Amino acid sequence: MKFCKYLLCFFIIVFIIFQNLNVFADDIETENIDDISSFLQTFSNFSEEPLINSRSAIVFDRNSKQVLFGKNENEKRKMASTTKIMTAIIVIENAKLDDIVKVSAKAAGTGGSRLGLHTNDKISVLNLLYGLLLCSGNDAAVALAEHVGGSLPDFASLMNKKCNELGLSSTNFVTPHGLDNENHYTTAYELALITDYALKNDTFKNIVGTKNYTVTINSYSKNLSNTNELLGALDGVYGVKTGFTNGANRCLVTSIKRGDLDIICIVLGADTKKDRTKDSIELINYVFNNFEIVNIKEKIFNEFNNWKIYNSSNFVVAKGVSNNIDLVLDDLKFDYLPVNRNDIDSLSIYIYCDYNFQAPLKANSIIGYISVSLQNETILTINIRNSNTIGQKKFGSYILELTKNYTHYLENLFSCIDKF
């Protein structure tokens, strides 16, 4: 009987340990992909949108901020260690890279994927960032969060404050590492916005683009390898982050630049590492094989200048000292727009503008706009303004104008009399 009790206790302990391992599983690569090159050869040509395994995905153009492909891109999902993109940018913006961090017992005891920190280890912020982003160290995430925020909840507050600054409404952070929590989520679209913001920081961009790096912990060195399987394997890839938990499944955020096309590809909720790799390559190849860059700035300005030639004399400013409106466009935030070759013919530019105004008309007043549409969906609007002030006529101006008109009338009258 006593033996049965011991045996039962043993199985309970094993069950608890197994459950904890599952909870903390994050970027621990138990699944290997032998040959990525086979994916590159198999998925080299696409003309139709690929069917992917991942529950949510997006391809986001960094220049125009347009979504080139989307699958449930606005659906809230767990995002595992892709969380560390935001963790890193908060640290970079709020700490000195050469600061030395003393590792707490809490950080050292954090499970899942690890840099391998121990209590009271001393390591620089920069080395912790490499441990955070290359080998996805959850212990590094906690050490950095405690160093910058003082505590995990306070650091999460900094993360959510940044979300507010970026205008994100479907993202909430609870932890710096992304271990499963029901209140810790984002969407593929908002994760793309976070990634785009982070990649503007050179320190972040350099770290996530590093394949191998040697960190120093105390006085000993440790070699790290990037968990991003596409970095160095697929042309143009320069970052950024992998992720895995049981709740989030396999996740991968990838940045790729070829020529003028610079995109972020995100897959969330893939069943396996093979699926996330396959899905990412399919989406990347689909975009680069099917989208071409259009100089949208040139098209807009050509259309606008032609329109001005035919319409500049049609403006009337009632009670104004003149009708001479100087038309200008607001600045475009980007020059080039990637467009699917199948949709090029549907790209349209429309100009909407008022012609009648009441004086006074202030400088820089919005008097119309240009709309750019693709497949009958508006993708861009630019304001049309008048650059000059047009004042209201004074009483004396009316007398002067009346005198001029009367004089002109008399001149015409006398001209007619002379003819007789």
In tens, the pLDDT along 17-71 reads 433 433 444 556 556 665 666 666 555 456 788 999 999 999 999 999 999 999 9
Expressed in angstroms, the distance from the first to the final Cα of the chain is 139
Q: Report the residue count for the chain.
A: 420
Q: How confident is the model at residue 347 (pLDDT cuts 50, 70, 90)?
A: very high
The DSSP 8-state label assigned to residue 316 in this structure reads E
Measure the CA–CA gap between 267 and 251, rounded to whole angstroms: 6
Neighbour-count burial of 114, counting CB atoms closer than 10 A to its CB (0-12 exposed, 13-18 middle, 19+ buried): buried
State residue 17's pLDDT score.
42
Give the residue-averaged pLDDT of 276-302. 96
Q: State which H helix or E strand residue 310 sits in.
A: helix 296-311
What's the angle, vertex CA 34, arms to CA 277 and CA 32, rounded to 5?
70
Domains of the chain: 54-270 (3.40.710.10), 295-395 (2.60.410.10)
**Residue 26 vs residue 172, higher pLDDT:** 172
Model's pTM, two decimal places? Answer: 0.85
Q: Is the pLDDT of residue 402 over 80?
A: no
**pLDDT band at 320; cut points 50, 70, 90:** confident
| pLDDT in the model for residue 417 | 64
Strands 237-245 and 336-340: unpaired
**How confident is the model over 213-238, as a mean pLDDT?**
96
Q: Contact, 58 vs 74, CB < 8 A?
A: no
CA atoms of 78 and 100, how far apart (whole Å): 32
Percent of the chain with pLDDT over 90: 77
CB 188 within 8 A of CB 57: yes
Q: Alpha-carbon distance 49 to 262, whole Å? A: 19
Lowest mean pLDDT among 171-185, 258-272, 313-327, 372-386: 313-327
**Cα diameter, the chain:** 139
Confidence of residue 313 (pLDDT cuts 50, 70, 90): confident
Mean pLDDT along residues 130-159? 98
Strands 212-217 and 220-225: antiparallel
Supply the mean pLDDT for the chain.
89
Which residues are CB-contacts of 186 (< 8 A; sequence separation ≥ 6)?
A: 76, 77, 79, 168, 170, 171, 172, 194
Lowest mean pLDDT among 1-5, 53-57, 165-169, 306-310: 1-5
- H-helix or E-strand spanning residue 59: strand 56-61
Is the per-residue pLDDT at 334 higher than 50?
Answer: yes
What pLDDT is recorded for position 10?
Answer: 53
The yes-or-no verdict on residue 4 having pLDDT over 60 is no
Which residues are part of the catalytic machinery?
81, 84, 136
More confident residue, 101 or 414: 101
pLDDT band at residue 411, thresholds of 50, 70 and 90?
Answer: low
Q: Per-residue pLDDT tens for 60-118?
A: 999 999 999 999 999 999 999 999 999 999 999 999 999 999 999 999 999 999 999 99
408: pLDDT strictly greater than 90? no
